[in-house]
Structure 1
Amino acid sequence: MSKKRISRRKFVRDVATGLSFTIVPPHVLGARGRNRLAPSDKLNIACIGVGGMGANDVRGVGKTENIYALCDVDDRQAAQSFSAFPLAKRFKDFRVMLDKEGKNIDAVTVSTPDHTHTVAGMAAMKLGKHTRIQKPLARTLWEVKQLEDMARKAKVATQMGNQGHAEEGTRLIREWVETGLIGTVREIQLWTNRPIWPQAIDRPLEEYHTPATLDWDLWLGPVPERPYNPAYAPFKWRGWWDFGTGALGDIACHSMDASFWALNLGYPTRIEAESTKLYPETAPACSRITYSFAAKGSRPPVTVVWRDGSLYPPRPKEITDPLAWPFDTSGQLWIGDAGKLIAGIYGEHPRLLDEVKQAGVTAHPVPQKYPRTEGVYAEWIAACKGGPPAGSNIPDHSGPLTEMVLLGNLAVRTAQPIDVNPATGAVLTNVPEELVKPRYRAGWGW
């Protein structure tokens, strides 16, 4: 029997042709092949809330991944993202998006106002989608707990958008503290110039037409109905308790992060707040909140003091020029029994106030103990593709961190000290239930 010779070129061509019919795309395997994605594969990401900070998040994940869908209740706010990713499918209602396109989506970012973080995040995780939520995770303690529980149940990669946790400064702070460069830490002072939006005001009574580009009912989402007013959207919602969490919710998930992580703070035992005049619907103009943490393991008790409204802590003696304090409009000061350090609200640019020690650690850096990341977006994306969990994942870090932050708002709003079980985070002081667990409008559950 004669044998027909096959040229190498024809062999390669035939094999390639065969392969083109036998390779199965991940989405054919179901749920876009969740837990099957290789690091080289691109995620199909759907972004909810794509204006403002949301536009930054879209660009951040869109550098390496496929922006599959964009969802925003306001076409005007979303215009920048729509223009940057013209091939992405567009939606106004994330519920419709997830229902129609869920099978094609791997991961979801949520960058809406605080009051819709939970309903959007829960809907995404319930479908088994990796989920990234802007800070703070939620508006109330109950909602944070729901997100924590769902993240554990769904076993998806999660992250909160407190970017400092993935950066160099936060790791340096922990390594410096653990090396003993400032001794034993017993006190931390935090401050911010926020609010930079109106609060300490009553509900407006003027009537306005809703902008044609905005679906106001969808913007309200789960919260009680009220007429549109530019006092709320697009930017001024943070100071309204129905929509936001004030200056504390905006910044403390950044500035409290390093101490929460480095000192293993956990839940406080007591929170006491002072503030300017309280208003029923908005946060006060200025507040000072003191968190007391019990001793834990080898760590002694720690006091964390928060100030907003451009109220600043006393100038450390190491800074002799009164005009040099504060060094920035927002920041943090760590006080140990052998020195002090300062840093920005994201943990950036940490510096020892002892100039000799600072020169020493600059010349001879302490050994790196904690792995560095390639940035907050890359960290989450790697986790979505089977890598280690993001540092600020919901169940282990950002959930409990957000709970700690929101306890401060309870103390402010009730004008009384709040006692907490440090083992469970349970609030021991009687507070109105609606401050802990919101009531959603019909159609906005999960």
Structure 2
Amino acid sequence: MQNPSRRNFIRSATALAGSAFAPNLLLGQEKKLNELHVAAIGCGGKGWSDISEIAPGNRVSFLCDVDKNQARKAITRFPEAPYFSDYREMFAEVADQIDVVTVSTPDHMHFPIACEAIKHGKPVMVQKPMCNTLWETRALAKFAKEKGVLTVMGNQGATMQGTRLLREWIEAGLIGEVKEVYYWTNRPIWPQGTGLTFPGSPVPDTINWEVWQGSCATERPYTPEIHPFKWRGFWDYGCGALGDIGCHSMNSAFWALDLKGDFVVEASKVSEFDETMAPKRATIVYDFPTKGERGPVKIIWQDGVADPNTDKEFVRPPGLPKDLKLNSEFGQVFVGTEGTIFFNDAYCNTAPILFPAELKKKARTIKKVYARVKGGPTQELCRAIRGEGPKPVSNFEDHAGPLTEMVLAGNLAVRVGKKIDWDMERMEARGLPEVRAFLKREYRTGWEPDLT
């Protein structure tokens, strides 16, 4: 069945707004002081953890997921919250009862869902990466600014104490001038590369496959080899390893070193990939020029690393003891002229380790400058909505958008196989017009962007 246009759909769905189904379940309930009504879009996996994070002090009032089985846990936990399989239907029926929206879906649906929330004036948390194309990322940040809507991306590392401690240490000159930052991950932990097949299966009654495909122009039959987890390797739906972990890990350097702006990025050691799937492995190097008082910085990203302690292709960061065991899942190292800061995780959630150890004494003298954030990005957003705190650090315009663009530019370097001199203001690769083909997706009929 052909997907209806957004305008036609909303006209028909709005006619249902007077039904007793969803609104009347909430109208008779007394709202507690400062409690926000939450609409959670995407309820399984990361969606469940986002719901769990935002629920304290608020009311999870509406649940939306294309797969009712994925939403079972949330439906059981919040039985009074009406369930929808189509976010457009939800907004058409109950938008006036929503205070804040969480979007925890596959990457390709972040943009259309967030746009719909913003059109209704709803503050929104969108999981990382903000979008899975650079054009969508830029357009969404601009749209949120135009509409004056509070936003945040779900890269929880931006709220971690370690991220603030890192920036305080770097700005105080604890390790001297930062020259290099190393990131690594074992992702992908789902199928990527060439030679993969995805045979179709009957669509279960519990899944709205039409809405799951959403804005993607490539029609693919339902298969459990795509939903609910293995979509990440597709260029159409996810962004590979970079999309999964890049906005988490590289957030630390992006914020602490003020990396917003132009850069050069190049990919190497790239395993086979095709127009459908991302590669199993890649090394991506970003070079950022001098900015203000900060000198040039090199960011080295390595994905597909099964175990950095035994992998012969892995480039071990300098400044670490040879017998130091590295986290096989992910890690990050800041290399300065006078020392090294090591986090054995992707989020700055573990205690940072200093080398040489003598720096610990100096570190204890560095004063706190940046406020600590409690409750993660969703609670940070809720406090801003209530007027109890500033707008989130990882808001779309100032932070999440430019960070996501930086991360996704690494995938551009992988796909064109050339060094990219990235012009951030113009959102283009200088001298490489072939990059433009990867900046914006082809949209499915009826799902074209409508930023009005």
Q: TM-score range by the shorter chain?
A: 0.7 to 0.9
SS in 2 for 1:75: coil
Contact conserved, 1:312 with 1:326, CA < 8 A, in 2?
A: no
Q: Who wins on radius of gyration, i.e. which is larger? A: 1
1:300 aligns with 2:295: yes
**Number of the residue aligned with 1:7:** none
- Residues in 2 aligned to 1:129 and 1:88: alpha-carbon distance in whole angstroms: 18
The residue correspondences of 1:262-411 to structure 2 (distance < 5 A) are: 262-274=256-268, 275-310=270-305, 312-321=314-323, 324-343=324-343, 344-348=345-349, 349-361=351-363, 364-376=364-376, 377-386=378-387, 387-411=389-413
Using the TM superposition, give the Cα deviation of residue 317 of structure 1 relative to its aligned residue in structure 2, in angstroms: 4.7
Contact conserved, 1:193 with 1:329, CA < 8 A, in 2?
A: yes
1:439 aligns with 2:442: yes
Contact conserved, 1:203 with 1:281, CA < 8 A, in 2?
A: no
Q: Deviations over 1:2-37 (max 9, x none)?
A: xxxxxxxxxxxxxxxxxxxxxxxxxxxxxx9xxxxx
Query: TM-score scaled to structure 1, two decimals?
Result: 0.88
The residue correspondences of 1:88-103 to structure 2 (distance < 5 A) are: 88-103=81-96
Q: Deviations over 1:212-267 (max 9, x none)?
A: 21111111011122111222110000001110000001101011001101110113
- Residues in 2 aligned to 1:315 and 1:372: alpha-carbon distance in whole angstroms: 29
SS in 2 for 1:355: coil
Contact conserved, 1:270 with 1:417, CA < 8 A, in 2?
A: yes
The residue correspondences of 1:155-174 to structure 2 (distance < 5 A) are: 155-174=148-167
SS in 1 for 2:34: coil
Using the TM superposition, give the Cα deviation of residue 416 of structure 1 relative to its aligned residue in structure 2, in angstroms: 1.2
382-391 vs 399-408, greater mean Cα deviation = 382-391
Contact conserved, 1:93 with 1:218, CA < 8 A, in 2?
A: yes
1:76 aligns with 2:69: yes
1:228 aligns with 2:222: yes
Counterpart of 1:228, as a letter, is Y
Instruction: Quote the sequence identity (%).
Output: 41
Using the TM superposition, give the Cα deviation of residue 427 of structure 1 relative to its aligned residue in structure 2, in angstroms: 2.6
After superposition, the CA RMSD in angstroms is 1.8
Higher helix proportion:
1
SS in 2 for 1:402: helix
Instruction: Decide whether aligned partners of structure 1 residues 40 and 427 sit closer, same or farther in structure 2, where only a CA change above 3 A counts.
Output: farther
**Number of the residue aligned with 1:3:** none
1:62 aligns with 2:65: no
**Number of the residue aligned with 2:21:** none
- Residues in 1 aligned to 2:111 and 2:179: alpha-carbon distance in whole angstroms: 34
SS in 1 for 2:186: coil
Instruction: Decide whether aligned partners of structure 1 residues 108 and 296 sit closer, same or farther in structure 2, where only a CA change above 3 A counts.
Output: same
- Residues in 1 aligned to 2:36 and 2:213: alpha-carbon distance in whole angstroms: 30
129-138 vs 379-388, greater mean Cα deviation = 379-388
Counterpart of 2:333, as a letter, is L
Using the TM superposition, give the Cα deviation of residue 150 of structure 1 relative to its aligned residue in structure 2, in angstroms: 1.1
- Residues in 2 aligned to 1:431 and 1:353: alpha-carbon distance in whole angstroms: 43
Contact conserved, 2:180 with 2:297, CA < 8 A, in 1?
A: yes
Using the TM superposition, give the Cα deviation of residue 359 of structure 1 relative to its aligned residue in structure 2, in angstroms: 4.8
Counterpart of 1:405, as a letter, is V
- Residues in 2 aligned to 1:318 and 1:409: alpha-carbon distance in whole angstroms: 29
Instruction: Decide whether aligned partners of structure 1 residues 202 and 117 sit closer, same or farther in structure 2, where only a CA change above 3 A counts.
Output: farther
- Residues in 1 aligned to 2:360 and 2:267: alpha-carbon distance in whole angstroms: 34
Query: TM-score scaled to structure 2, two decimals?
Result: 0.86
Counterpart of 1:286, as a letter, is R
Count of aligned pairs between the two proteins:
406
Instruction: Decide whether aligned partners of structure 1 residues 325 and 55 sit closer, same or farther in structure 2, where only a CA change above 3 A counts.
Output: same
SS in 1 for 2:124: strand
Q: Deviations over 1:339-362 (max 9, x none)?
A: 11111210122111211212553x
**What residue ranges of structure 1 are gaps of 5+ in the alignment?**
1-31, 33-37
